[in-house]
Chains A and B, each alone.
Chain A
């Protein structure tokens, strides 16, 4: 029955089938995820941004040890975890991407060996929990599972506070990493005491309580992931952008907790080329089209870093999975796009038009993706879109993977 549902979902074009199979399974047996997880060594990866990519990279790194189950289509709720594990058969290892809201539930169901906490920033506020509430939810979950080792982002005060219970003497401990976070607007107020958080260069500390940046064991330097012993491992990735070097370092830190030596794993990371269609390149009518997903302010900053200075199409929707509110457009500074031809499309292109006007970024509105392709000369076309806008364009491009 689950397999039929997945086939139906694919055939009707509503999804890639990776969620719906698990949803039917969970209705039949709510303990299914726990049963499927039993006997496997599992790593969970959660955070507002980078979790799909980091999951793929961590799965590639753990592949050194043997077959790894993973939900590589970004189906990151318990139904997606259930189908990933069911589909994979009896693998000894699993790396699962987890939606931030579901982390407590999935921690309880899967008893993982490691959980990687990447970052927390604003994302779809009209339905998501506010950032500080999410950090509190994570902190309680970490406190409730002292046997789980945390791989945590030292640069994000929300993560450091959430992971703190794992540093207790009887807990499994924390491996801190620093991957160079750019987005700081959600962590000026200390989650522990409400005081101002002072940032100086890369360092930060609370002005009202002892919360401060821990010394990271894993860092990033000039395209290399630097291991706790100081050895730099040059990361050669097929994925663009500095942010993915950070994601690679995080993946190596996760794999190291399973005994994987970074030198054995680092070469496998280059095999990850596109992640659920993200970063994929497609040829159409002489245009080399590259798709970048940007779903919230922090990930837009990263997308601008990855995009080449070529004609750029921005596509914005505000359907349920995107969040119905487009206010976040004013949290993104689009100025890096000045000087290149900018096209805009999507359900909510007019919200974007008003934003770009205020930002003094000239643009052209096009009603469809096909018209955008026709409007640019042969060569590179960068496409940056939020979630359902990205899925729409992927559908037009015949579901590139």
Chain B
């Protein structure tokens, strides 16, 4: 794969990031979330260990953040089956690890989802289920985030055919002001330290404060030193002002 890798350290204090099944769940720029978290953690002086774990390998336990990307129907269903058999992600949630999932990865955290016309069993780590919508949702996605998370407006690009229905145990990540998200009204979901979104690919590129929230959850830090936000601010302002 690529030569680009996060700074590594052998320190036991290192923040361990795991990209779950890049061979199955990596559609379009999904690596970005791993790179962005590693970059922002390293800029705050954290040692970072970034692991890419293939679907024929066991998921390591006690990592700090697990990332799930987008995927086509076949690989999505296969990933769900392998994660159920592995059990590692459930153990990680039980021990307080952070999970951040986008698109197909987000859907498979729910109780069930549709792939290739069949209902598939999900991991049931978030109280939600997904089915197929009448149209494919492709385009800019934006909306104000759940105020309890203390984040600025969510912005991203969505590209999916699913509709996601939240149960009482999952809170929407945001209300939708542009795009479809879960169902045209809400977008994404979170519970504890498990968070999913339909903002696909490198969702954290446009949402650096969300990246920092995941890092704070993982490290227990109350606050992180601010980073230069010139380019992320310009990107956010441009995308939030763009026609939808």
Contacts and interface: CB of A to CB of B under 8 A. Distances in A.
A357 interface: yes
B28 A328 contact: yes
A354 B204 CA distance: 11
B157 A330 contact: no
**Of A133, A207, A353, A355, most B-chain CB atoms within 10 Å:** A355
**Of B23, B29, B55, B139, most A-chain CB atoms within 10 Å:** B29
B210 interface: no
A194 interface: yes
Contacts of A306: none
A358 B138 contact: no
Interface string B47-85: 000000011100000000000000010110010000000
Nearest to B139: A324
Interface residues of B, number: 38
B235 A354 contact: yes
Contacts of B28: 122, 125, 325, 327-328, 331
Contacts of A196: 23, 54-56
Interface stretch (B31-39, B125-133, B168-176): B31-39
Nearest to B23: A188
Contact of B75 (A189, A207, A350, A351): A189
Interface in B1-56: 1-4, 22-24, 26-32, 35-36, 39, 54-56
Contacts of A357: 39, 231
A353 B234 contact: yes
B32 to A, nearest CB: 3
Interface in B209-233: 231-232
A327 B32 contact: yes
A126 interface: yes
Nearest to B54: A196
Contacts of A132: 72, 74
Nearest to A350: B235
B159 A122 contact: no
Interface in A312-369: 324-331, 333, 335, 350-351, 353-355, 357-360
**Of A125, A185, A196, A354, most B-chain CB atoms within 10 Å:** A354
A164 interface: no
A360 B205 CA distance: 14
Contacts of B139: 324
A355 B75 contact: no
Nearest to B203: A327
Nearest to B37: A358
A353 B139 CA distance: 21
Contact of A325 (B1, B35, B74, B157): B157
Contacts of A130: 27, 72
Contacts of A284: none
A80 to B, nearest CB: 26
A127 interface: yes
Size category, A interface: 20 to 34
Contact of B27 (A122, A324, A351): A122
A194 B138 CA distance: 26
Nearest to B200: A327
B159 A350 contact: no
Interface in A157-189: 184-185, 188-189
Contacts of A333: 2-4
A185 B30 CA distance: 12
B157 A327 contact: yes
Contact of A126 (B3, B32, B55, B138): B138
B90 to A, nearest CB: 23
B238 interface: yes
A185 B26 contact: yes
A184 B29 CA distance: 14
A184 B157 contact: no
Interface string B141-161: 000000000000000010100
B162 interface: no
B4 A184 contact: no
14 contacts: A125-B159, A188-B23, A196-B56, A207-B56, A324-B139, A325-B28, A326-B157, A330-B29, A350-B231, A350-B234, A353-B234, A354-B235, A358-B36, A358-B205
Interface of B: 1-4, 22-24, 26-32, 35-36, 39, 54-56, 72, 74-75, 78, 138-139, 157, 159, 200-202, 205-206, 231-232, 234-235, 238
Interface of A: 122, 125-127, 130-133, 184-185, 188-189, 194, 196, 207, 324-331, 333, 335, 350-351, 353-355, 357-360
5 cross-chain pairs, A with B, having the tightest CB-CB distances, nearest first: A327-B201, A330-B32, A327-B29, A330-B29, A350-B235
Given A126-B159, A325-B201, A329-B32, 11 more contacts: A122-B28, A132-B74, A188-B23, A189-B24, A329-B202, A331-B31, A351-B205, A353-B235, A354-B205, A354-B231, A360-B39
